[in-house]
Amino acid sequence: MSARGELSTAAHDWIAQDPDEETRAELTALVAAAEGDDEQAVSELADRFDGRLTFGTAGLRGAIAAGPNRMNRVLVAQAARGLAEYLLERAAPGETPSVVIGYDGRKNSDVFARDSAELFAGAGLRAVLLPRMLPTPLVAFAVRHLDATAGVMVTASHNPPNDNGYKVYLGGADRGSQIVSPVDEEIEAHILRVAARGSVAELTRSEGYELAPESVFEAYVAETAAVCWLPAAEIGAQPRTVYTAMHGVGWETLARVLGRAGFIEPDVVASQIMPDARFPTVSFPNPEEPGALDLAFAEARSGGAQLVIANDPDADRLAIAVPDSGSASGFRRLSGNEVGALLGWRVAEAHAARMRDGERDTRRAGPATAGSRAVPSAAPPATLATSCVSSPALAAVAAAYGLRFQETLTGFKWVSRVPGLIFGYEEALGYLVNPDTVRDKDGISAAVALLTLASDLAVDGYTLLDQLDRFSERFGHFGSVQIALRVTDLSLIDTVMKRLRSTPPTNIGGVQVAGIDDLAGGSAELPPSDILRIRMADGSRIMVRPSGTEPKLKVYLDASSSAGKLDKRKKTVAARLAALEAGMRELVS
């Protein structure tokens, strides 16, 4: 049979097992066009069937459409059954594995979640479906709260509107963290065996799954509200705040948590506050992207707000903006590194205060003074952690407070697993302020911590920008710039990485390269990863890596200065970053 004939046969087999009327119809039309010698249709069919979405440490993620290389009900069914068989294989004799399933407001999230619940139940597992669309951190929390074997969250986070994904957490010793290698490979092997056995229509389903009780949500609200360390009398100093959910699922949960903590409810961007899978007011539902916060800035200007808070669509990330007269929008979004530095400093100071007060046997994670579980004195040393592409600023905080510091590979699956963690973050707007409650980045608890910090500062007449200056005066001024090269042809990323390895630069932006660490083979601190770390003679650092979730090559530039007064430090760092950025853009273009 010809290659085109094999494609057609594979597509017809897929149509026969697809329970989704929409994807079945669009694939039927695509096949008809391809069989009519439409070359564009043939190319599209090949792209969908010549490969499949791989189940990795980020689970599955892709555009919703028919075929094994897209997100759809057939692929999700194969994944759910494969995960079920993996959990059954590793279960102790007589043990019934359990799985918590959550979902956000994206297209088909609820469908994929119910399919999974039915398939888990049909395979003999205890399946617990969260009662409605909720933020991703609720799944990470529920895995521990319900002592579940695993958790599944159906979300594509901040990806384009037509994407969806499938993220997996493990309970027990993993404490509700995302999966890491080699677990992903073991699950993938089970999924492939399920796919090879035949039609998903033959997989056993059952409606004998449970709906999680409302008490799970209430427990998360109570523990997250406890992140606030201010007495109720001082919360009255909170700055006027605007919040946007970015058409996602964050608002219900955040509103309940803020109310429980005693905060005044923020103003909201009404057109973005409710879940909407179309994401109609943003071109890309990621608060990092240019223009994503324009409506929030407009609302803040009209209401005279001093703070803008934004969650991404599944509310595991947090964006912050503050008034800035020098900006065209009137607001400046703080970088993930800036917010991470402020929250990390607060956690370090709170930990030091508890140690001074003699609470050495009741060390708590995060800035909260309530709601955190006590940690035995034999526990690993208190640790601050970041991903390796995040700013070195947190290392300076750790050194100043006598805390351990650890860098990890990119992705919160690594940050959340650091022993002794009391605070962790990654520059892509992910923060973990309460690791005894959730072992994943959490945009809700981070919002509580940030709003508490802003209110605490306001009591004494300070702002977040003032606090950033105080940070620079105490620890040195740190600056970061990121270059994101988005491509349509993924081979271009591989080409750039190979070129940098085969012909390494010796000078970038007029500064000598002191050394290059190729992390493809790992290092003493990090397992192998496709990352280049370029160390500059002036102490600056450049990290280059392909994105793990988007078709991008990412370059991270970091510089710092402790010489002279604050203004000199800022100018020195700005000049270094400008030169490095110009040099790297030439290298990767």
CATH assignment of the domain containing 368: 3.40.120.10
Q: Looking at 98, 157, 335, 529, which residue is catalytic?
A: 157
Q: With DSSP H G I counted as helix, E B as strand and the rest as coil, what are the percentages for the chain, rounded to 5?
A: 40, 20, 40
Shared domain check, 187 and 164: yes
Shared domain check, 253 and 375: yes
Shared domain check, 188 and 97: yes
Q: Domain with 575 in it: what CATH number? A: 3.30.310.50
Shared domain check, 351 and 242: yes
Residues of the chain with pLDDT under 50: 360-366, 368-376
Residue 500 contacts residue 533 (beta carbons within 8 Å): no
Q: How far is Cα 584 from Cα 66, in angstroms, rounded to an integer?
A: 39
Q: Is residue 44 part of a domain?
A: no
Q: Which of 212, 235, 257 is the last residue of a domain?
A: 212
Q: Is residue 27 part of a domain?
A: no
Shared domain check, 436 and 336: yes
Q: Is residue 337 part of a domain?
A: yes
Shared domain check, 230 and 162: no
Shared domain check, 184 and 75: yes
Q: How far is Cα 530 from Cα 388, in angstroms, rounded to an integer?
A: 12
Shared domain check, 222 and 208: no
Q: What is the pLDDT of residue 365?
A: 36
Shared domain check, 170 and 137: yes
HSE-up (13 A, CA, CB side) for residue 117: 23
Q: Which residue range forms the structural domain that includes residue 486?
A: 476-588
CA dihedral 535, 536, 541, 544 (to 10 degrees): -60
| Model pTM score | 0.93
Q: How far is Cα 443 from Cα 437, in angstroms, rounded to an integer?
A: 13
Q: Is residue 532 part of a domain?
A: yes
Q: Which of 178, 195, 212 is the last residue of a domain?
A: 212
Shared domain check, 246 and 174: no
Q: What is the pLDDT of residue 550?
A: 74
Q: How far is Cα 583 from Cα 587, in angstroms, rounded to an integer?
A: 7
Q: What is the pLDDT of residue 502?
A: 95
Interacting residues of 452 by C-beta distance below 8 A, sequence separation 6+? 227, 228, 229, 230, 261, 367
Q: What is the pLDDT of residue 231?
A: 87
Q: Which amino acid is at 423?
A: F
Instruction: Report which DSSP code applies to 263.
Output: P
Assess whether 560 carries a catalytic annotation: no
Residue 41, φ and ψ in degrees, nearest 5? -65, -40
Q: Which of 212, 235, 252 is the last residue of a domain?
A: 212
Q: Is residue 35 part of a domain?
A: no
Q: Is residue 259 part of a domain?
A: yes
Tally of domains within the chain:
3
Residue 269 contacts residue 242 (beta carbons within 8 Å): yes
Omega into 182 within 30° of 0, i.e. cis?
Answer: yes
Q: Is residue 178 part of a domain?
A: yes
Q: How far is Cα 305 from Cα 499, in angstroms, rounded to an integer?
A: 48
Shared domain check, 252 and 202: no
Q: Is residue 11 part of a domain?
A: no
Locate 23 and state its tokens: 């994807």
HSE-up (13 A, CA, CB side) for residue 82: 28
Q: What is the pLDDT of residue 451?
A: 97
Interacting residues of 60 by C-beta distance below 8 A, sequence separation 6+? 53, 54, 71, 75, 76, 79, 165, 166
Shared domain check, 239 and 198: no
Interacting residues of 36 by C-beta distance below 8 A, sequence separation 6+? none
Locate 496 and state its tokens: 């750039």
Instruction: Report which DSSP code applies to 141.
Output: H
